[in-house]
Amino acid sequence: MLLRLPGVLKPDELALARALLAAAPFADGKLSAGLAARRVKNNEELEAGAADLERLNRVVMGSLVRHPAYRAGALPLHVASPFYARYRPGMAYGDHLDDPIMGAEGVRFRSDVAITVFLNAPGEYDGGELVVRTATGEQAVKYAAGDAVLYPASSIHRVSPVTRGERLVAVTWVQSLVRDPARRELLYGLNAAREKLLQSAPEAEETAQVNAAYLNLIRMWSDI
């Protein structure tokens, strides 16, 4: 499932994030890449010790984790602190898979879901599409500033070369309560139907049945 999360960041939050990033130091993105990804990765990432990193994370991640489509689509158990990536003309990230296990200093988690939050408008740069391989073919994603996209971290994906301007994104990963992406997609659709029924017919027998099915599937399929 490739899921768009509209309006994760509001205009004032975007403006603050952009201002913080404009004054922050960036480094070669290869420094955070594994051996395989290093061969195809050509971007810049915010340095880990940047002065305003915690403030930036509060703005971006605070909004993301409150987004209802994020909660329903990711079913999050653990979420990573994001990387902030910058692509300038000539930069790209070739086909790759994300590391299956992430984290450091004793805090390790499985990367089930990848999320990219777009921090500048698509008209500010040419190229730079996120291209994700799915069961129905490749899907190219270049959303509005403040929107995000959620997709299985097990998908092969790439960032097309930027030919003009600058692409600015935040990228994070989630360990889901439900490991299997097909089951997460089924649960997302079932929950959408459940929420509509709870609003339109809260006392109906079929509402209770759909609600019970959703809750018990979560119980059956969750890792905890």
- Output the pTM of the full model: 0.95
Q: How many CB atoms lie within 10 A of CB 151?
A: 22
The token pair that represents 130 in the structure block: 């996120």
Domain residue spans in the chain?
3-176, 181-221
pLDDT tens-place string over residues 174-189: 999 999 999 999 999 9
User: Mind giving me the DSSP string for 106-145?
Assistant: TEEEE--EEEEEE-S-GGGEEE--EEEEETTEEEEE-PPT
Pick the CATH number of 3-176 from 2.60.120.620, 3.40.50.300, 2.60.40.10, 3.40.50.720: 2.60.120.620
Contact by Cβ (8 Å): 52, 24: yes
pLDDT in tens, 113-149: 999 999 999 999 999 999 999 999 999 999 999 999 9
In our burial notation (b when 16+ CB lie closer than 10 A, e otherwise), range 10-46 reads eeebbebbeebbeebebeebeeebeeebeeebbbbbb
